[in-house]
Amino acid sequence: MSIFIDAKTCVLVQGITGSEGAFWTKHMKDLGTAVVAGVTPGKNGQSVEGIRVYDTVKQAVIETGAEASVLFVPPRFARDAIFEALDAGIRKVVVTADGIPVHDAMEIRAAALALDAKVIGGNTTGVITPGVAMMGFLPYWIDRVYKPGRVGVMTRSGSLTNEATAMMVAAGYGVSSLIGIGGDAVPLTRFAEMLPLFQADPATDAVLLIGELGGTMEEEVAEALEAGIFTKPLVAFVAGRNAPEGKKMGHAGAIVSGGKGTVKGKAAALRAAGALVADKPSQIGALFETVFPIKK
């Protein structure tokens, strides 16, 4: 079972005729994703990787039954593309664009919440159910890092996710569903909003949280643990402990303000709520071993 995408999820690609859209569409198909349509205005009737291209999302949904969308469009066009998908009835959207204007992101998030839609991103590498389906641009050698298993993964990072998940897999554990929340300043979906889905998923026994300095999403996870919203084991790694104070680091969302958002504070909040927190990625496997020992 997956919390976002499975082999039956009909996916459309907005921006499919661009170089990135076409390249990653091929890899999504190769991984088993049911990509049923592409959308690029003015390109109706064209084909990419054997997939029909439409002018509008509404037309694609009517003719193919598409129910999820992944966007390969520039950040300044993301708002209109997402609204088009939502207006067409799509409730699962993955947004790869990095640097969506803050006001646009706030409008997108408000619309998604009002419609009970899950819009993942911006600045995300995507989502994956290993061995089943993917939306986004996770590496095409992904099968060497993301093995099927029973640990859900939520992350703000791209490259760090590869390292941290590889450490977990090397210890003998695998991934049920991975959600790349993304690193933009305004996440369109937050960590704590995904926890009830992992809690309800019978294929997920625990969750790995890969966070970073800045923002309050990790503290919100701690609050959810304390409130009993999520009761399964949670292992966390929060990146950025060696970041110089007062300097902007990495993602747009890596902002410390008002004394909140520090790695030390996040780690303390998560530990106080019952999570296991790794000081470095190499400790992740050992922490899972304390929760779910693997029979050797």
Q: Is residue 10 part of a domain?
A: yes
Q: Is residue 30 part of a domain?
A: yes
Q: Is residue 152 domain-shared with residue 281, that is, in the same domain?
A: yes
What is the model's pTM? 0.92
Q: Is residue 250 domain-shared with residue 159, that is, in the same domain?
A: yes
Q: Is residue 25 domain-shared with residue 102, that is, in the same domain?
A: yes
How far, in Å, CA of 239 to CA of 43, rounded? 42
- Please give the pLDDT value at position 138: 85
- Please give the pLDDT value at position 262: 87
Mean pLDDT of all residues in 267-289? 95
Q: Is residue 10 domain-shared with residue 77, that is, in the same domain?
A: yes
Q: Which residue has the higher pLDDT, 259 or 155?
A: 155
- Please give the pLDDT value at position 140: 63
Mean pLDDT of all residues in 133-138? 93
Q: Is residue 21 domain-shared with residue 66, that is, in the same domain?
A: yes
Residue ending a domain, choose from 91, 123, 155: 123
pLDDT confidence band for 1 (50 / 70 / 90): low
Catalytic positions are: 251
Q: Which residue has the higher pLDDT, 252 or 201?
A: 201
Q: Is residue 161 domain-shared with residue 220, that is, in the same domain?
A: yes
Range of the domain at 271: 145-296
CATH label of the domain that carries residue 32: 3.40.50.720
- Please give the pLDDT value at position 296: 42
Q: Is residue 25 domain-shared with residue 55, that is, in the same domain?
A: yes
Q: Is residue 119 domain-shared with residue 173, that is, in the same domain?
A: no
When divided into structural domains, the chain yields a total of: 2
Q: What percent of the chain has pLDDT over 90?
A: 79
Q: Which residue has the higher pLDDT, 170 or 59?
A: 59
pLDDT tens-digit series, residues 205-249: 999 999 998 889 999 999 999 999 999 999 999 987 655 555 555
Q: Is residue 187 part of a domain?
A: yes
Q: Is residue 139 part of a domain?
A: no
Q: Is residue 134 part of a domain?
A: no
pLDDT tens-digit series, residues 143-198: 778 899 999 999 998 778 888 998 999 899 999 999 999 999 899 999 999 999 99
The DSSP secondary structure of the chain, one letter per residue, reads: --SS--TT-EEEEETTTSHHHHHHHHHHHHTT-EEEEEE-TT-TT-EETTEEEES-HHHHHHHH---EEEE-S-HHHHHHHHHHHHHTT--EEEE--S---HHHHHHHHHHHHHHT-EEE-SS--EEEETTTEEEE---TTGGGT--EEEEEEEES-SHHHHHHHHHHHHTT--EEEEEE---SSS-SS-HHHHHHHHHH-TT-SEEEEEEESSSSHHHHHHHHHHTTS--S-EEEEEE-TTPPTT---SSTT---BTTBS-HHHHHHHHHHTT-EEESSGGGHHHHHHHHSPPP-
Average pLDDT, the chain: 91
How many C-beta atoms surround the C-beta of residue 179 within 10 A? 25
pLDDT tens-digit series, residues 85-130: 999 999 999 999 999 999 999 999 999 999 999 999 999 999 999 9
Q: Is residue 289 domain-shared with residue 182, that is, in the same domain?
A: yes
Q: Is residue 264 part of a domain?
A: yes
Q: Is residue 132 part of a domain?
A: no
Residue ending a domain, choose from 123, 158, 180: 123
Q: Which residue has the higher pLDDT, 293 or 19?
A: 19
User: Which region among 115-119, 266-270, 274-278, 290-294 has the lowest average model confidence (pLDDT)?
Assistant: 290-294
CATH label of the domain that carries residue 173: 3.40.50.261
Q: Is residue 220 domain-shared with residue 291, that is, in the same domain?
A: yes
Q: Is residue 150 domain-shared with residue 244, that is, in the same domain?
A: yes
Q: Is residue 267 domain-shared with residue 217, that is, in the same domain?
A: yes
Whether 295 has a pLDDT exceeding 60, the answer reads no
